[in-house]
């Protein structure tokens, strides 16, 4: 029987108050990277190098996998890294920054709702993280989400399964890069935010155990 975990729903704002430390996500051992894989299979679309990127940024339209719900903490395999569709958990991650890795099964559900996930795998990227926070804070608020507590549907989290330093994922699309370029990531967010198959601004969960 797959190991399951009980979610504790805590609603939070997407934008962390200036100077405040983002709240880390909490998870039960076994409900994270070791329950997921970074398996990649060849898709039908070819990667496109971003023009004038100094970081070798590449965007790819990925094959769409069925967005089926599976029990929380169950093992997941995706066809792209980072994932951009596929099986996911019934709950979704709140549209905000996390300082500890969010299990992919949660934020894949977030991008199904129209979010963009900003992901990183580096320990020496403090300045890049500050640039990413500034980029997110400067994004226009989504008028369609007014009054829901979700100003912008963006999830930012470290991801130990990445094989690049920085990446972004939207439903059906990925961006992979050797460093964080604000303009490149901003363009990706603006092109794909709010375009998931389920257009939902309802707050997600901020912790699980």
Per-10-residue mean pLDDT, the chain, length 209: 39 34 49 74 75 92 96 95 97 97 98 98 97 98 91 97 98 98 98 96 89
Q: Quick check: is 108 in a domain? A: yes
Contact 57, 165 (CB under 8 A): no
Note the pLDDT of residue 149.
84
> Which residues are 154's β-sheet partners?
116
Q: Quick check: is 185 in a domain? A: yes
Rounded Cα distance, 170 and 187, in Å: 12
Identify the residue whose tokens are 């500890």.
Answer: 100
Q: Quick check: is 14 in a domain? A: no
Q: Quick check: is 197 in a domain? A: yes
Label residues 48-68 b or e (16+ Cβ within 10 Å = b).
eebeebebebbbbebbebebe
Q: What is the pTM of this model?
A: 0.85
Note the pLDDT of residue 4.
40
Note the pLDDT of residue 11.
31
- Report the 10 Å Cβ neighbour count for 152: 21
Q: Dihedral through CA 165, CA 133, CA 182, CA 170, nearest 10?
A: 70
What is the C-alpha radius of gyration for the chain, rounded to an integer number of angstroms?
A: 16
Q: Quick check: is 15 in a domain? A: no
Note the pLDDT of residue 179.
97
Note the pLDDT of residue 150.
87
Note the pLDDT of residue 133.
98
Note the pLDDT of residue 9.
35
Note the pLDDT of residue 35.
83
Domain count, the chain: 1
Note the pLDDT of residue 171.
98
Range of the domain at 29: 23-204
């Amino acid at each position: 029987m797959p190991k399951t975990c009980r979610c504790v729903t805590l609603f939070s704002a997407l934008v962390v108050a200036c100077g405040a430390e983002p709240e880390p996500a909490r998870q039960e051992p076994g409900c994270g990277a070791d329950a997921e894989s970074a398996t990649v299979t060849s898709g039908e679309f070819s990667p496109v190098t971003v023009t004038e990127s100094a970081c070798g940024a590449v965007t790819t339209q990925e094959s769409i996998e069925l967005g089926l719900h599976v029990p929380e903490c169950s093992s997941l395999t995706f066809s792209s890294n980072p994932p951009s569709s596929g099986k996911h958990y019934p709950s979704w991650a709140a549209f905000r920054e996390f300082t500890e890795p969010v299990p992919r099964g949660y934020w894949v559900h977030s991008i199904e709702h129209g979010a963009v996930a900003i992901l990183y795998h580096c320990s020496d990227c403090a300045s890049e993280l500050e640039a990413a926070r500034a980029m997110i804070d400067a994004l226009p608020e989504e008028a369609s989400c007014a009054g829901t507590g979700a100003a912008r549907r963006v999830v930012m989290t470290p991801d130990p399964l990445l094989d690049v330093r920085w990446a972004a994922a939207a439903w059906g699309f990925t961006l992979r890069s050797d460093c964080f370029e604000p303009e490149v990531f901003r363009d990706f967010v603006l092109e794909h935010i709010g375009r998931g198959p389920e257009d939902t601004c309802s707050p997600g969960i901020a912790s699980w155990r």
